[in-house]
Amino acid sequence: MVYFADGGILVSMAKLEIITLGDPRLRKKCKPIKRFDKRLQQLAEDMVETMRATSGVGLAAPQVGINERLIVVEIPTEGFEDDPQAGKLFVVVNPEVIRARGEKVADDEGCLSIPGYIGEVERYPTATIKGFDVHGRPLRIKAFDYLARIFQHEIDHLDGVLFIDHISEPQKLRRLVQDPETGEWLEEPVVAALA
Ligand SMILES: [Zn+2]
């Protein structure tokens, strides 16, 4: 099983449809949420279900075509036994990174909205996130390493920013191709993939 930033590559039946690169809704700045009502709670629930069904570790509302500041994040326990942050679900309304520290670290990310691609992105290793739960109660989360990376990736989505925007050198973006015989996932540079 492969997990990247918000992007699982195993797509199964999801509750909500995930829109992909090229859809202008992914590029809009999202509006702050003002009403903490039943509709919001239902949307959050559906997003959690969709994230899990697609083996994602995070999902932002614009990825399901909703122009609002809501994200869901969860690192699964399976495969991340050493990460104390795994197995915890975060649903954050109007999230903001209020503090990001440390020297940026480069690592691979993918995105449910850019299926089949991964690329190396530099992110802060620790981040403090502030926001609200679906009932309007204030939240403050201290995240590090992978979780901090996911939060930075998801919050970017709310401003129409995608992980590929952070990739300056084309060779850092790669395409994932499944070997038809072994079923193994292989990487190839995008330049070769286009040739
Ligand atoms: Zn994403």
Evaluate whether residue 194 is within a structural domain: no
**82-111 average pLDDT score:** 96
Q: How much of the chain, in percent, has pLDDT values that exceed 70?
A: 90
**63-67 average pLDDT score:** 98
Name the active-site residue from 17, 45, 109, 154.
Answer: 154
Q: What are the CA-CA distances from residue 123 to residues 17, 64, 102 (Å)?
A: 28, 24, 9
Token output for 180: 């038809």
Evaluate whether residue 183 is within a structural domain: no
Residues 10-54: pLDDT tens digits? 545 668 999 999 999 999 999 999 999 999 999 999 999 999 999
Centre of ligand 1 from the C-alpha of residue 42, in Å:
21
Element (H, E) at 47: helix 38-53
Evaluate whether residue 34 is within a structural domain: yes
Centre of ligand 1 from the C-alpha of residue 182, in Å:
28
> Which pLDDT value is given to residue 190?
79
Centre of ligand 1 from the C-alpha of residue 102, in Å:
23
**51-62 average pLDDT score:** 95
Domain count, the chain: 1
What CATH number corresponds to the domain at position 155? 3.90.45.10
Centre of ligand 1 from the C-alpha of residue 20, in Å:
10
Active site residue 154: yes
Q: What are the CA-CA distances from residue 124 to residues 56, 157, 174 (Å)?
A: 21, 16, 22
Centre of ligand 1 from the C-alpha of residue 139, in Å:
22
Evaluate whether residue 2 is within a structural domain: no
Calpha distance 145→126 (Å, rounded):
6
Centre of ligand 1 from the C-alpha of residue 6, in Å:
5
Evaluate whether residue 83 is within a structural domain: yes
Which residues, chain by chain, have CB under 5 Å from ion ligand 1?
A: 6, 111
**47-66 average pLDDT score:** 96
- Res. 2: pLDDT tops 60: no
Q: How much of the chain, in percent, has pLDDT values that exceed 90?
A: 77
Q: Quick check: pTM over 0.75?
A: yes
- Res. 193: pLDDT tops 60: no
**80-93 average pLDDT score:** 96
**122-150 average pLDDT score:** 98
Residue 141 — very low, low, confident or very high, per pLDDT cuts 50/70/90?
A: very high
Evaluate whether residue 176 is within a structural domain: no
Centre of ligand 1 from the C-alpha of residue 154, in Å:
6
- Res. 194: pLDDT tops 80: no
- What one-character-per-residue DSSP string does 90-123 give? EEEEEEEEEEEESS-EEEEE--TTSTTEEEEEEE
**82-92 average pLDDT score:** 97
Evaluate whether residue 133 is within a structural domain: yes
For residue 68, the enclosing domain spans: 24-105+125-164
> Which pLDDT value is given to residue 24?
97
Residue 178 — very low, low, confident or very high, per pLDDT cuts 50/70/90?
A: confident
